[in-house]
Amino acid sequence: MKKSLKIVFHLLNLILILLYLYPGSIFGWIIYGDINNQPQITRDFIFSSNHVYAFFLLSVLGFWSYLDDDKFNFVVIYLFALSIILELFHIIIPERNFQFSDLFGNILGVIIPFVLYKIWRKI
């Protein structure tokens, strides 16, 4: 079970990286036929909700996959670094824009499951 969960985590990780580095919106192209139009799941607030959902799902899978593994701390650091680095790449990728609301959404998507994990471990 753990091995298949790790495979899903790494596959989702690869997909997320490809979606982030693609110059435009793949989902916008599929849904609207326009790479400049990004579909929204829910409204944005101070942070980008789509980014929270993506990194929340990735983080939950990563934390769960490496829960009792020596690499757990590495996964936590990796996810925080990934959430920052991928958004910074939007500075140089054509058709993409760096936005602090996206960066905050990425980081929040990692922080929420990490805090829930810490609470769960205390209980």
pLDDT tens profile 90-114: 999 887 789 899 999 999 999 999 9
Model pLDDT for residues 66-90, shown as the tens digit of each residue: 988 889 999 999 999 999 999 999 9
Asked whether 86 and 79 are in contact (CB, 8 A), the reply is no
Among 50, 46, 47, residue whose Cα is nearest residue 38: 50
Number of domains within the chain: 1
Length of the chain: 123
Give phi and psi for 110, each to the nearest 5: -95, -40
Burial class (CB in 10 A: 0-12, 13-18, 19+), 64: middle
pLDDT digits (tens, 9 = 90+) for 42-66: 666 777 788 899 999 999 999 999 9
pTM: 0.84
Range of the domain at 60: 2-122
